[in-house]
Chains A and B, each alone.
Chain A
Amino acid sequence: RHVMAAPDLLDPKSATHNTKPRLSFSTKPITLTPREESEVVATVMKWKTVTAIFLLVVLYLVMGAAVFRSLEQPHESAQRLAILSQKLEFLSRHSCVNQSQLEELVKQVVSAIRSGVNPAGTLTNHSSLWDLSSAFFFAGTVITTIGFGNTSPHTEGGRIFCIVYALLGIPLFGFLLAGVGDQLGTIFGKGIAKVEKMFVHWDISQTKIRVISTLLFVLFGCLLFVALPAAIFKHIEGWSALESLYFVVITLTTIGFGDFVAGGSEIEYLDYYKPVVWFWILVGLAYFAAILSMIGDWLRVISKRTKEEVGEIRAHAAEWTANVSAEFKETRRRVSVEIYDKFQRAASIKRKLSSELGFSPAPELTLPRRTVSVNFNDERDKIERDAGLQGLTTPLTRNSGLYMNGLDPERGDISIIEHLK
């Protein structure tokens, strides 16, 4: 699986489009082939690399946060002092306000907002937008390319540093995302493989298994990375349900408008809130990359299907009907002959046994369970095998019509018809 294409690791977003979906396990074979062992080895090595890269990224973020803080915080304090003095001056002159004064006030307010300072409310206990944890968060939004924009650098030095920082940080984060995505895919793939093994016994076709496992992946991931965080945000931030969901989607697709930001309002947050949010963003991004690439696949498939479907359906239908009628005739003929043979032989055995042992219960023959395959050749053999191992004194039973059990020629025919359908 790791040999699959992921050409542009350096850009986190291209992971979504340019590749075989990294987290899609749809081509994972159901049976473990010898190749799996080498995959496991490759996974182990990559885990160490991923951890190393993760630590590097965290270090990089902390460094960036420190630099941003030292560049931006003085500028921010100066702005805050200016707006405070403006406000006090206005209040002392509040008898009869004319329009020009009002405009001036509003202009000041707006420019304060653009500097990231909220003049409303008391400014004394206003937490800085550039303290360490907020700066860390900002650095995270830069290298994940989300870019909320609720805080942004205003000094020239801050902006230049932001450019250089992003140039190095984005590829770095791309590697990390690739690694995390792989790990996530491995975990899910292993879980799904176990589930698929269970399904194999239930005679469901491979197509259905894949569809079900894809659905499971999507649902479980949605629950874990979308629904749960949305509920948490709703509770802590006080947003509505829609706003929380909107925030989750806008963030995890790295659009990042910034109208809603977790940890961006005036509420008292727990200390570990922001780091946990960042960690959620990391894993959620990997999940969303898989989802988006899946949607991209579907779009591709849809565009191809409409082209192929018409010609294909016709070809398939013709082929299939020809096959079915041929098989039907052949099997019917053969089975009825075999049944008759077996019947005769079993009857003679029974007679012999009962005469030897002096009582009549007949030996039970257990029927092996068998899976259904779409290949017609296999079915012919299976039908043969089925017919060859019948306990003929047991009453005629059918096991969900999928293969034959027991028999007399009429019932046998019915189950064959059902099977071939």
Chain B
Amino acid sequence: MNSVGKSWLLLTGLIVFYIIYLLFGALVFSSIERPVEEQLRRDMDALKQEFLNQSCVSAASLENFLVRVLTANKYGVSVLRNSSVTSNWDLASSMFFANTLVTTVGYGHTTPLSDTGKAFSIVYALIGVPFTMLVLTACVQRIMYPLVIAPVCLLQRSGLEPRPATVVHFVLLLVLVVLCFFLMPAAVFSVVEVSWSFLDGLYFSFISLCTIGLGDFVPGTQPGQKYRPLYQVAVMVYLFVGLMMMYLLLRTFHKMSDLHGLTSFLQLPRCEDSDVDEDREPIVDEDSRTANHVTEKTASRHLDPASQPSYNTINKG
């Protein structure tokens, strides 16, 4: 198997492992949080019953009632009669939660209730966040060639100078991303979600893809949502691909500003990839070994993101 095929296999393996990691997180969250949620739900029912049994309501008991309702609501447990019985911690929702954790979006519409859940979240995030970044980087490297390098070469061959070619390409890419990942999903969300307008959908897309994740809009949390698990999985995929496209945009922009001398003007580090062999760059660098023997000089050497000689040198002594 040639090296290109091998790197594709590696990428596939990485993605598969990433999905497994998400599933694993979902399972753990589900098993930890579900019992606590059930307990909280039962408490809310008892509280409501107790309130109804009272003939007269005093201010103090009302305050007490309100405080407890609000605390429950903060964790996503509704006390209303027509709220659906679907749990916030079934498998699809837990996976959605795990996804928001590792992509660092962090909506907060459901949060771990138990202490164990919180402790697990810490560890899960500390490992999952860099791992997700790794996967995203690998994917972006992969799609760099067909989406960036090839079109730019095409533009150059049709007569444009390098600099204008990159600008034209970047603008085209920007328009494409905005159309496909902001406007279209906003339209879809405004149709599927009952109470969202188009602006709400756009706002949600933007806040999610920038990984801000305020959490005031979260798809699939309305009561009575049809096909909820499928919907949540679809949103997860949308988030991942959207994030990838954002990174691609950023990378393209950085290379473009490199070419135009902006980065050296602002005294910022340059984008270190060479254009020549970038499409042949494997995700896991196979020639980093040559870098390891030059320990003192690695600092000044051009590093591509995939080769990380620092810890290799530790391992090799």
- Where the two chains meet, the residues of A that have a C-beta atom closer than 8 Å to any C-beta of B are 1-11, 13-14, 16-21, 24, 26-29, 33, 35, 42, 45-46, 49, 87, 90-91, 94-97, 99, 102-103, 106-107, 109-110, 113-114, 118-121, 141-142, 145-149, 152, 154, 156, 159-160, 162-163, 166, 170, 175, 178, 205-207, 210-211, 214, 240, 242-243, 245-246, 249-250, 253-259, 291-293, 295-301, 303-305, 308, 374
Known contacts being A91-B62, A120-B63, is A103 close to B81, with CB within 8 Å?
yes
Q: A295: which B residues are within 8 A, CB to CB?
A: 126-127, 130
A243 CA to B306 CA, complexed, in Å: 36
Let me know if B136 is at the binding interface, CB within 8 A. yes
B133 contacts which of A1, A13, A243 (Cβ < 8 Å)?
A: A13
How many Å lie between the Cα of A145 and that of B126 in the bound state?
Answer: 17
Contact with A along B45-78 (1 / 0, CB 8 A): 0001001101111110011001101100111001
How many whole Å from A107's CB to the nearest CB in chain B?
A: 7
Residue numbers in A under 8 Å from B130 (CB-CB) = 16-17, 292-293, 295-296, 299
A147, B308: Cβ atoms closer than 8 Å = no
Query: In the bound complex, do residue A13 and residue B211 qualify as a contact, i.e. CB atoms below 8 Å apart?
Result: yes
| A166 with B214, Cβ < 8 A, contacts A119-B66, A254-B104, A255-B101 known | no
Q: Once the chains bind, are B129 and A170 in contact (CB under 8 Å)?
A: no
Among B79, B213, B302, the most chain A Cβ lie within 10 Å of the Cβ of: B213
Q: Tally inter-chain residue pairs, CB-CB below 8 A.
A: 288
26 A-B pairs (CB sep. < 8 Å) = A11-B247, A16-B130, A18-B247, A33-B296, A45-B267, A90-B57, A99-B52, A120-B66, A142-B212, A147-B105, A147-B215, A149-B214, A162-B207, A163-B202, A166-B206, A170-B210, A210-B313, A242-B119, A249-B126, A253-B104, A295-B126, A295-B130, A299-B134, A300-B134, A300-B306, A308-B289
The CA of A99 and the CA of B82, in the complex, are separated in Å by 12
- Nearest chain B residue, comparing its CB with the CB of A87: B62
A148 to B106 alpha-carbon distance, docked (Å) = 8
Contact check, B314 vs A17: say whether CB atoms are below 8 A apart. no
Please provide the 8 A-B residue pairs with the shortest distance between their CB atoms, ordered closest to farther: A17-B133, A5-B272, A147-B212, A255-B106, A149-B215, A296-B130, A257-B108, A26-B310
Inter-subunit contact A255/B214 (CB<8 Å)? no
**Bound: A102/B106 CA distance, A:** 32
Given contacts A27-B310, A28-B299, contact A246 B118 (CB under 8 A): yes
CA distance A108 to B197 in the complex (A): 21
When chains A and B are docked, how far (Å) is the Cα of A159 from the Cα of B69?
A: 28
> Is the contact region of chain B dominated by helix, strand, or loop, or is it mixed?
helix
Contacts of A119 in B (CB 8 A): 66, 70
Determine whether B188 belongs to the interface, using a CB cutoff of 8 Å to chain A.
no
Complex: A94 Cα to B65 Cα, angstroms? 14
With both chains docked as a complex, state the minimum distance between the C-beta of A54 and any C-beta of chain B, in angstroms.
15
Q: Is the CB of A17 within 8 A of B66?
A: no
B250 adjacent to A5 (CB under 8 Å): no
B51 pairs with A29, CB closer than 8 A: no
- Are A113 and B70 in touch, CB under 8 angstroms? yes
Q: In whole Å, how far is A415's beta carbon from the nearest beta carbon of chain B?
A: 23
Q: How many residues of chain B get a CB closer than 8 Å to chain A's CBs?
A: 95
Flag B298-317 by CB within 8 Å of A: 1 or 0 each. 11101111101111111101
CB < 8 Å neighbour of A17 from B101, B134, B255, B298: B134
Residues of A within 8 Å of B235, CB to CB, are: none
Does A300 lie within 8 Å of B284, measured CB to CB?
Answer: yes
A242 with B269, Cβ < 8 A, contacts A97-B52, A160-B199 known = no
Interface assignment of B34: CB less than 8 Å from any CB of chain A: no
Question: What A residues does B55 contact at CB under 8 A?
Answer: 95-96
Task: Report the minimum CB–CB distance from B108 to chain A (whole Å).
Answer: 4
Q: Which of A10, A99, A240, A259 contacts B254 (CB 8 A)?
A: A10
Q: How far is the CB of A342 from chain B (nearest CB, A)?
A: 34
In the complex, which residues of chain A have a beta carbon less than 8 angstroms from the beta carbon of B311?
26, 297-298, 301
- The residue of chain B having its C-beta at the shortest distance from the C-beta of A2 within the complex is B269
Q: Contacts A27-B298, A149-B107 known; A253 to B57 CB distance under 8 Å?
A: no
The residues of A that contact B80 with a CB separation of less than 8 Å are: 103, 106-107, 110
Whether B233 is near chain A, meaning CB under 8 Å from some CB there, is: no
In the complex, which residue of chain A has the Cβ closest to the Cβ of B197? A156
A148-B214, A253-B125, A256-B108 are known; give 14 further A-B pairs, CB within 8 A.
Answer: A10-B250, A26-B313, A27-B295, A94-B56, A97-B54, A107-B80, A159-B200, A178-B269, A207-B317, A246-B119, A250-B125, A255-B100, A255-B106, A296-B134
What separation, in Å, do the CA atoms of A10 and B247 have in the docked complex? 10
Q: Is residue B192 within 8 Å, beta carbon to beta carbon, of the partner chain?
A: no
Query: Complex Cα distance A253/B213, Å?
Result: 13
Residue on A nearest B246 in the bound complex, by CB: A11
B43 to chain A: closest CB distance in Å? 15
Residue from B81, B130, B207 having most chain A Cβ neighbours under 10 A: B130
Q: In the bound complex, what is the Cα–Cα distance between A186 and B107 (angstroms)?
A: 35
Q: Are B213 and A147 in contact (CB under 8 A)?
A: yes
Contact flags B256-269 to A (C-beta < 8 A → 1, else 0) = 00000000001111
Write the B24-56 contact mask toward A (1 if CB under 8 angstroms, else 0).
Answer: 000000000000000000000000100110111
> Could you tell me if A3 and B212 are in contact, using CB atoms closer than 8 angstroms?
no
Q: How far, in whole Å, are A35 and B215 apart by their CA atoms in the complex?
A: 48
Chain A residues contacting B155 (CB-CB under 8 Å) are none
A306 to chain B, nearest CB (A): 11
B203 at the interface (CB under 8 A from A): yes
Q: Is there an interface contact between A255 and B104, defined as CB atoms closer than 8 Å? A: yes
Q: Which residues of B contact A175 (CB under 8 A)?
A: 266, 268
The CA of A211 and the CA of B63, in the complex, are separated in Å by: 56
Which B-chain residue is minimally distant from A291 (CB atoms)?
A: B126
Residue pair A206, B106 in contact (C-beta under 8 Å)? no
Does A35 lie within 8 Å of B250, measured CB to CB? no
